[in-house]
Amino acid sequence: MPDSHGRQVEKPQIMQDFVFGGIESDEAHLLAAQRELLRGIRHQHQIAPLDPAPHQAVQLTVTVGPEVALDHLLAHVYVMFDASNSAEPSHTHPQSRAFTVEFERAEVRWEPLIWAYVEVWQVQVPGQPAGALVQYTIEGRPSGAGASQWASEPNMDGTVESAARYGYHVDQFTPPAWAHQAVIYQVFVDRFTVDRFGVDLAPEEHLGRAPSRWLAPAEMNNFAGGTLAAVTQQLPYIADLGVTAIWLSPIFVCDSYHGYDTVDYYNVDPRFGTNADLHALIDEAHRLDLRVLLDFVANHTSIRFAPFAAAKADEHSPYRAWFSFGAAYKHGYRCFFDVAAMPQLNTDHPDVRQFLGDAAVHWLTAYGADGFRLDYAAGPSHAFWSEFYARCKSARPDCWLFGEVTRPGAALRTYQGRLDGCLDFGLTRLLRQLCLPDAASISIVEFANYIVRNQRFLGSTDNHFLLPSFLDNHDMNRFLWVAGNNKARLQMAATLLFGLGGPPILYYGTEVGLSQPRSKAPWLEEARHPMPWGAAQDAELHTFFKRLIARRRGQPALCYGAIETLYVNDAEGVWLAQRTHGQSRVLIVVNVSTEPRAVQLPDGKYVGLADEEVAREIVLAASCAAILVNPSN
């Protein structure tokens, strides 16, 4: 496949670089997963409403597979009235109450995927006052003799959570006002400012823009030298882009350069700097009107995490229950996707919840962090996130919490009320299908319908569940690389991201043409090369992104407006969409064909990103998208 300079480059696999499953699997795997959900006793966090208000009754729905025979289905409910106290709920706890409600059969449903009938059972849990943390387990009592069966849920890593604990918190928390119009800049701390590779050097003749040199494969898993103090020095550069927030990769004491194996949740890793350096970074960012989001890992730790070391060394240690040990696990204990260096926490243990909640509140209150990107949020239970969310919001009502959940559709929607939102992996996948050369896997009608329906389905039209959106990140090949380093393709995808997505996230270096020299390999992420500085940056792209960011921030319709299709035509490859909010009216025009297209516009005059004025018609280049604003509204 030729790049934008006509050079032949390796053709990467477009959809094989997503991680942790859920969003991108082959058909056989997806069908098997769906069949599995129709067997046993499954709740799948089906509650209505998804985010209950104080004193509002909540309906629970459960499906029972064809191999399960039940006389009774019960929800054992435990209500805690103090979110700051993570003690195990019980009948005797002074700030809790426990009760049981019994389900009733609601309907029988034929499921052709398993060629069998399933039963649907439902029950209502009485409404609870504000501040109540409601947790429950679901027990099925069999017909005749036999042991009870409990509702269980398949986990992302292929294990099954038996006797699952479910939960929700009763409150009126919402995403903070500032998050709706946020534009986020993702900083990978170890690679953003790397002094030893030099700065202000001319770009090499590599694929796309390069740092002073690419890291060799053997160097990719080493610390490269980026620090918090150096990031602080570059905050004026970030602020000048026009973004409103930065997201820092994990910076707590860790074993690996990426930081996703936490050793100490209360201290910065010395290789990144000191706690004082983090405090100084946050203070300076706030002075420049930038919010700071930290990356928080609640699912797993390093093997050097003190409670794990104690638990592994002594089976009688009180920390033993913080983890899951046993012969059923490959390494003798449950790990993050079988990575021995990352033992998985038992986040439903009350002491673990207390510990993680305390650590999160510490950074929000003592250091002024503005929120968290929550790593692998599909790992911990919904009950855990309900409590964690309530603790953070009680400490800092204006903090923003969004999760990395690589599941689409109905599974993603269940996080409403448990978090402020989730990363929109579905949109990333869609943009790659539409905008990358040789993808040819989605039509413009399918794309338009997905965008409109997804916004309605996930409730993002009412802005109570935000979907931060992105083209690429640290876990997948950079978009520019997969596009054969074709800047026009990157600009098209970025325009759609900023025009149609939730709060956009710009991965460091994308704005100046940073690509990569090789396709990613398992556990060797090529999207993490050092940031290019000075003459190595693509000035044209930098200007483009500054204008795009300004357009997003200047038009409330791009942040709040429902997406409406005005015209779509598969044969032409054209879609014209409109977003309106108050006096802000914006058109998003897309042409995915290989020919220029003339697109008729509604009455009025419009201005594009380059400030050209158009009236009634715009001629859009091949494989191009534009955001047009009606300045008279």
**Alpha helices (H) along 366-478:** 382-395, 409-413, 425-435, 444-457
Q: Which of 181, 174, 175, 188 has the alpha carbon at shortest distance from 244? A: 181
Q: Which CATH architecture has domain 300-346?
A: Alpha-Beta Complex (3.90)
DSSP codes joined into one string, 315-341 = TT-GGGGGB-BSTTSTTSB-EETTEEE
Burial code of 588-608, b = ≥16 C-beta within 10 A, e = fewer? Answer: bbbbbbeeebebebeeeebeb
Two tokens, residue 310:
């104690």
Answer positive or negative: Cα dihedral of 532, 534, 538, 544. positive
Report the pLDDT value the prediction gives residue 15, as an integer from 0 to 100: 47
Is residue 562 within 8 A of residue 581, CB to CB? The reply is no
Assign domain 180-298+347-554 to its CATH superfamily.
Glycosidases (3.20.20.80)
pLDDT bin (cut points 50, 70, 90) of residue 211 is: low
Q: List CB contacts of 432: < 8 A, sequence separation 6 or more.
A: 14, 15, 439, 479, 482, 493
Cis bond upstream, residue 49 (ω within 30) = yes
Residue 525 has pLDDT above 60, yes or no: yes
Residue type, 406: T
Report the pLDDT value the prediction gives residue 89, as an integer from 0 to 100: 55
Q: What helix, strand, coil percent values describe the chain, rounded to 5?
A: 25, 30, 45
Count of CA atoms in the C-beta half-sphere (13 A) of 167: 27
- With residue 138 as reference, give the H or E element that holds it: strand 133-142
User: Which residues make beta-bridge pairs with 600?
Assistant: 617
Residue 414 has pLDDT above 80, yes or no: yes
Report the pLDDT value the prediction gives residue 196, as an integer from 0 to 100: 44
Under CATH, which number does the domain 563-629 receive? 2.60.40.1180
- Note the pLDDT tens digit of each residue in 379-391: 999 999 999 999 9
Alpha carbons 133 and 386: distance in angstroms, whole number: 7
In which residue ranges of the chain is CATH 3.20.20.80 found?
180-298+347-554
- With residue 599 as reference, give the H or E element that holds it: strand 597-607
Assign domain 40-169 to its CATH superfamily.
Immunoglobulins (2.60.40.10)
Is residue 548 within 8 A of residue 500, CB to CB? The reply is no
Alpha carbons 575 and 563: distance in angstroms, whole number: 12
pTM for the structure as a whole:
0.93
Query: What phi and psi values does residue 299 have, to the nearest 5 degrees?
Result: -80, -35
In which residue ranges of the chain is CATH 2.60.40.10 found?
40-169
Q: Which of 127, 42, 43, 83 has the alpha carbon at shortest distance from 386? A: 83
Report the pLDDT value the prediction gives residue 20, as an integer from 0 to 100: 54
Q: What is the mean pLDDT of residues 464-469?
A: 94
- Note the pLDDT tens digit of each residue in 574-595: 999 999 999 999 999 999 999 9
Report the pLDDT value the prediction gives residue 204, as an integer from 0 to 100: 41
The β-bridge relationship of strands 160-161 and 153-154 is antiparallel
Q: Which of 376, 384, 378, 323 has the alpha carbon at shortest distance from 353? A: 384
In which residue ranges of the chain is CATH 3.90.400.10 found?
300-346
**Which range is least confidently modeled, 25-29, 133-137, 434-438?**
25-29
Residue 485 has pLDDT above 90, yes or no: yes
Is residue 163 within 8 A of residue 131, CB to CB? The reply is no
Is residue 47 within 8 A of residue 168, CB to CB? The reply is yes
The β-bridge relationship of strands 70-80 and 563-569 is unpaired
Report the pLDDT value the prediction gives residue 29, as an integer from 0 to 100: 75
pLDDT bin (cut points 50, 70, 90) of residue 143 is: confident
Report the pLDDT value the prediction gives residue 144, as an integer from 0 to 100: 74
